[in-house]
Amino acid sequence: MSDDQALGITESKEYNTGEWYAEVVQKAGLANYGPDGMSGFIITRPRGYALWEGIQNYLDGQFKATDVQNAYFPLFIPESYLEREKDIVEGFDPEVAWVTHGGNQELEERLAVRPTSESIIAPYMAQWVRSHRDLPLRVNQWCSVVRWEATDTKPFFRTKEFLWQEGHTAHETEEEAYEETMTRLGQYRSLYEDVLAMPVMRGKKPEHDKFPGADTTTTVEALMPDGKSVQAGTSHYLGTSFAAAFDLTYSDEDEEELPAHTTSWGLSWRSLGALIMTHSDDQGLVVPPTIAPEQVVIVPIYQEDTEEKVLDYAEDLREELAEAGVRVELDDRDERNPGFKFNEWELKGVPVRFEIGPHEVDDDEVTVVHRPDGEQAVESRSDVVDAVEDHFDEVYAKLYARAEENLTENVRDAEDRASILGTIGQHGGYVRAPWCGKEECETEIKETISAEIVMVPFEDDEERHHPDVADGCTCAICDDEATETAFFAKSY
Amino acid sequence: MSDDQALGITESKEYNTGEWYAEVVQKAGLANYGPDGMSGFIITRPRGYALWEGIQNYLDGQFKATDVQNAYFPLFIPESYLEREKDIVEGFDPEVAWVTHGGNQELEERLAVRPTSESIIAPYMAQWVRSHRDLPLRVNQWCSVVRWEATDTKPFFRTKEFLWQEGHTAHETEEEAYEETMTRLGQYRSLYEDVLAMPVMRGKKPEHDKFPGADTTTTVEALMPDGKSVQAGTSHYLGTSFAAAFDLTYSDEDEEELPAHTTSWGLSWRSLGALIMTHSDDQGLVVPPTIAPEQVVIVPIYQEDTEEKVLDYAEDLREELAEAGVRVELDDRDERNPGFKFNEWELKGVPVRFEIGPHEVDDDEVTVVHRPDGEQAVESRSDVVDAVEDHFDEVYAKLYARAEENLTENVRDAEDRASILGTIGQHGGYVRAPWCGKEECETEIKETISAEIVMVPFEDDEERHHPDVADGCTCAICDDEATETAFFAKSY
């Protein structure tokens, strides 16, 4: 354990969110910044990567249970392939890293390091699909992608290289493809709500903010404690435009050749950034037991004359927990005192601490302490292994409730331009307002306070709509009729 | 299913091994070749990637059970970092892909797409290690690397981009680091022998063929049916040279600053190529049940009047097998006849086939057929789910025995230059010979028949040594004293 980690968090989540976040990421051992000459890149340390593996394992299981197969496509994409996408997608101008030399040779055609893989996956899907019997086709890859954007680095939120999964599917009909789009969005929501203890809102991006070439872009949005929204996963129904451009066609039962309906959907390690940001506090990292690399840390408390009995008791408990499938660590370092260990494991985000001193041994008990609220309980030694799942559930429920409260309290209604600006300026969070659907009305808000329309609720999601829209009203910004509800927010 | 797959394998494994291999890889749906302008790259299709995931899952479990943590380091390495490695490793001149532009900007320093990550991992390990309490430190990453070598593409064997894992560890002592090196080599051996049904030989690379900068390079070598050896995984004890160059030091209990002893070890998707090459045959892919994406395929055989009872019986069996954790597929396509299905699933490498016709239904039985030898057995319906693991074990044992026989029969002794050349020329395989340890003696053989010393047995592995070496003899090529046993072979 290096000394800088032992010092604890010095920044305040409430007052210096950005600095606080950077400090938590580094001191909890999640990531380091890249070397000189590689700003925008990070090193994902084992504790950070373990969280990403938790996300991967859950989603990968969900995907496989719903007929998605993993595959792997090349890291590089020839420039001409990207150009082909450019032809169908007006204004597509990727900020990519270019490979121009292999060894000492200059390449005839330069290669883009993949910023996303539609343009290399679609032509191969086109090869694999001949008849309707080959559909649906669903492939996913876990990989890293590179987007050369010049921005301040924020680990997991803004990095030039990031880890993600990208799923690509092809279907016979629009209905099937749209259902696929929604299935994947539902799996993203489930990741957040069932694993990461984060309520999210599902909806669509406005027409002008869709994925280039998509028919519909759907999103899950998560509200951070600082009042900004995070686009936490997107799922696109691409219509037949990609299929047409890349000859992804199939012959139907009557031997007619038709373009497939395709989807793509992606979730990146931004999910990890949102997780850290949502739950952590001024003591350090907080994560739910569902995904914590260590769910329980046992800290023994002893003097010289009680060392043996306390450590024996603690080790016995550790073994029993490990056998029960609990991810448990016994911190028996002799050179550190219990207070130091408490702070260190709080910094590292272990959700449940077991304290064992001579009293606990004598009384056949264990003192159980929850992160982050410090709530204590005493369990009998014989019950504690069975009780541990209940403690995990309690901790999970507390984290979820806190995040849900933040979301519920921070959706506010506005019916005019001044009130949109004023409400976001004062409170942050989401402001929902009747909207005519035109980009210009968003632009007015964006230029004044850099808030944008992060989401439009689905048509059938009635409780998310601004109540006036159904009754008929004008757009909050212009005098045209309001056709939908816009969620304005500042965003990451 | 596209038509080209239905045609089956046309090349011969025995007579046109290279063409046959390429055909199996493509027709079994494992991989496609990259697009124009990207020779050397492949697309790993779901059936190929599932095999790689099987390898990953096994090794990752082994690593984690022995205190290795996964991490992720940047895809790019600044040129100056590679140069730093160059200073310590004479003659290190990586054939790398160079990123020179980000978006429209030329980079100040060009970035290498990682060919291996020692030079970016070591500086960070140096940051993380301060005292002996931070050791041992073990990190691993699963990623792709790029080496710009101009050779004919051979999927999984020779590709410019390949998937692998690279493990990097730091220790206090040489003894510990050497033990680590051997632990990882043992896990590679276990992957081959316990999961892939391939016997391998463990040993060292000759001094002149070590990983640049390493103290010792150890290897597992697998013999292919065409008589060539595959370097199937390597594990390096790096001494303190990398630690010294990258300031990877620790303070010991007396506060003395010492360089750490480091190791690195890697296994790539070449393992997958070796698996395909070893077991497959002129009907297509053969893989053991341990790693097969589908372990059992059920093929129903029926006429119109028996369709319902056969399909019900088959579906019931499928469900019971799936519940028992067997990876099973029921091929109930009505548009294909049983013979077509047999051929197709043989091509795809499913190790056990269950045939169910009206007779099986009437007699409460299942006909079980093994891949690759076609051996048949009849099991009662009530026993077949319990018996399936025995069938898997039998298939595994057959594959292993065949590969072991190939290895055992193809290690031959030679005591002079002519006999080394003659034996390899005639039989391929390994020739073991007394050797003085000098590179020149290998060069003589290499220049004549492009066979090289692929391995030198470990000192304590007495049965692998040429019997004359212990008694004292001269090198098979020159007149100097033989100090070790060299295994000559042609290699991939």
Residues of A in contact with B72 (CB under 8 A): 43-44, 49, 52, 144, 163
* pLDDT given for residue A165 in this prediction: 98
The CATH number of the domain holding residue A90 is: 3.30.930.10
Residue B78: cis peptide before it, omega within 30 degrees of 0: no
Residues B379 and B472 in one domain: no
> Per the domain annotation, does B1 fall within a domain?
no
Residues A426 and A387 in one domain: no
* B93 to chain A: closest CA residue: A103
Q: What is the DSSP string of B32-77?
A: EEPPTT-TT-EEE-HHHHHHHHHHHHHHHHHHHHTT-EE-B--SEE
Nearest CB partner across the interface for A148, out of B1, B38, B102: B102
Residues of B in contact with A49 (CB under 8 A): 69-72
Q: How far apart are CA B405 and CA B79, in angstroms?
A: 48
Stretch 142-161 of chain B: residues touching chain A, C-beta under 8 Å: 143-144, 146, 148, 150, 160-161
Q: What is the largest CA-CA distance in chain A?
A: 86
Please, what's the b/e burial string for B465-477 (b: 16 or more CB within 10 A of its CB; e: otherwise)? bbebbeeeebbbb
Stretch 200-259 of chain B: residues touching chain A, C-beta under 8 Å: none
Residues B312 and B447 in one domain: no
> Per the domain annotation, does A1 fall within a domain?
no
Q: How far apart are CA B11 and CA B19, in angstroms?
A: 6
Stretch 35-54 of chain B: residues touching chain A, C-beta under 8 Å: 35-38, 41-46, 48-50, 52-53
B272 interfacial to chain A (CB closer than 8 Å): no
Name the residue among A180, A178, A165, A177 with its Cα closest to residue A248: A177
Report whether pLDDT(B1) > 50. Answer: no
Residues B428 and B364 in one domain: no
> What average pLDDT is seen over chain B?
94
Report whether pLDDT(B484) > 60. Answer: yes
DSSP-derived secondary structure letter, A186:
H
| Residue A37 pLDDT class (50, 70, 90 cuts) | confident
Report whether pLDDT(B4) > 50. Answer: no
- Domain range for residue B385? 296-394
Residues of A in contact with B73 (CB under 8 A): 43-44
Which range among A65-69, A191-195, A463-467, B44-48 shows the weakest confidence by mean pLDDT? A463-467
At B140, which helix (H) or strand (E)? strand B137-146
Residues B262 and B307 in one domain: no
Q: What is the DSSP string of B335-388?
A: TS-HHHHHHHHHHHT-SEEEEE-HHHHHHTEEEEEETTT--EEEEEHHHHHHHH
At B392, which helix (H) or strand (E)? helix B381-409
Contact A71 B35 (CB under 8 A): no
> Per the domain annotation, does B289 fall within a domain?
no
**Cα distances (Å, whole numbers) of residue B202 to A68, A266, B24, B269, B487:** 38, 42, 29, 19, 11
Phi, psi of B46, deg, nearest 5: -50, -40
Residues B274 and B303 in one domain: no
* pLDDT given for residue A457 in this prediction: 97
| Residue B2 pLDDT class (50, 70, 90 cuts) | very low
pLDDT higher for A443 or B87?
A: A443
Residues A230 and A324 in one domain: no
Q: What is the largest CA-CA distance in chain B?
A: 86
Query: Looking at residues B332-360, what average pLDDT do you find?
Result: 96
pTM above 0.80, yes or no: yes
Residues B389 and B424 in one domain: no
CB count in 10 Å sphere of residue B163: 20
Complex confidence, ipTM: 0.95
A173 interfacial to chain B (CB closer than 8 Å): no
Count of the separate structural domains present in chain B? 3
Q: Using the 3D structure, point to which of A279, A305, A338 is the last residue of a domain.
A: A279
Residues of B in contact with A1 (CB under 8 A): 133-134
* B76 to chain A: closest CA residue: A38
> Per the domain annotation, does A181 fall within a domain?
yes
Distance from CA of A412 to the nearest CA of B (A): 40
Q: How far apart are CA A422 and CA B366, in angstroms?
A: 74
Quote the percentage of chain A above a pLDDT of 70. Answer: 97
Contact B108 A37 (CB under 8 A): yes
> What average pLDDT is seen over chain A?
94
Query: What is the distance between the terminal CA atoms of chain B, rounded to a whole angstrom?
Result: 32
Task: Give me the residue label for tokens 């299942």.
Answer: B366
Contact present, A317 and A298 (Cβ < 8 Å)? yes
At B488, which helix (H) or strand (E)? strand B484-489
> Per the domain annotation, does A284 fall within a domain?
no
Interface size between A and B, measured as CB pairs under 8 A: 162
Nearest CB partner across the interface for A113, out of B50, B99, B109: B99
Quote the percentage of chain B above a pLDDT of 70. Answer: 97
Stretch 355-414 of chain B: residues touching chain A, C-beta under 8 Å: none
Instruction: Name the amino acid, one letter, at B51.
Output: L
* pLDDT given for residue A152 in this prediction: 86
Residues A349 and A471 in one domain: no
| Residue B150 pLDDT class (50, 70, 90 cuts) | confident
The CATH number of the domain holding residue B387 is: 3.40.50.800
| Residue A159 pLDDT class (50, 70, 90 cuts) | very high
Distance from CA of B61 to the nearest CA of A (A): 13
Which range among A83-92, B207-216, B362-371 shows the weakest confidence by mean pLDDT? A83-92
> Per the domain annotation, does A5 fall within a domain?
no
Distance from CA of A102 to the nearest CA of B (A): 4
Contact present, B352 and B298 (Cβ < 8 Å)? no
* pLDDT given for residue B3 in this prediction: 46
At A425, which helix (H) or strand (E)? helix A417-427
Q: Using the 3D structure, point to which of A325, A360, A394 is the last residue of a domain.
A: A394
Nearest CB partner across the interface for B97, out of A81, A99, A127: A99
Nearest CB partner across the interface for A53, out of B45, B70, B134: B70
* pLDDT given for residue A94 in this prediction: 64
Distance from CA of A178 to the nearest CA of B (A): 23
> Per the domain annotation, does B5 fall within a domain?
no
Query: Looking at residues A222-244, what average pLDDT do you find?
Result: 96
Which range among A282-286, A333-337, A410-414 shows the weakest confidence by mean pLDDT? A333-337
Distance from CA of B131 to the nearest CA of A (A): 8
A101-123 tens-digit pLDDT: 998 889 999 999 999 999 899 99
Residues of A in contact with B293 (CB under 8 A): none
* pLDDT given for residue A2 in this prediction: 47
Q: Using the 3D structure, point to which of A361, A394, A427 is the last residue of a domain.
A: A394
Residues B189 and B302 in one domain: no
Query: Looking at residues B376-387, what average pLDDT do you find?
Result: 96
Contact B97 A98 (CB under 8 A): no
Residue A98: beta bridge partners? Answer: A112, B101
Residues B27 and B60 in one domain: yes
Residues of B in contact with A48 (CB under 8 A): 71
Contact B69 A81 (CB under 8 A): no
A6 interfacial to chain B (CB closer than 8 Å): no
* pLDDT given for residue A124 in this prediction: 96
Stretch 422-461 of chain B: residues touching chain A, C-beta under 8 Å: none
* B27 to chain A: closest CA residue: A128
A98 interfacial to chain B (CB closer than 8 Å): yes
Distance from CA of B91 to the nearest CA of A (A): 15
Residues of A in contact with B74 (CB under 8 A): 34, 38, 41-43, 161
> Per the domain annotation, does A401 fall within a domain?
no
Residues A162 and A235 in one domain: yes
* A121 to chain B: closest CA residue: B43
* pLDDT given for residue B152 in this prediction: 86
- In 3-state terms, what secondary structure has residue A257? strand
The CATH number of the domain holding residue A435 is: 3.30.110.30
Report whether pLDDT(A88) > 70. Answer: no
| Residue A440 pLDDT class (50, 70, 90 cuts) | very high
* B126 to chain A: closest CA residue: A2
Report whether pLDDT(B90) > 60. Answer: no
Residues of B in contact with A55 (CB under 8 A): none
Quote the percentage of chain B above a pLDDT of 90. Answer: 90
Contact present, B180 and B172 (Cβ < 8 Å)? no
Q: How far apart are CA A361 and CA A343, in angstroms?
A: 23
A294-343 tens-digit pLDDT: 999 999 999 999 999 999 999 999 999 999 999 999 999 998 999 999 99
Distance from CA of B269 to the nearest CA of A (A): 12
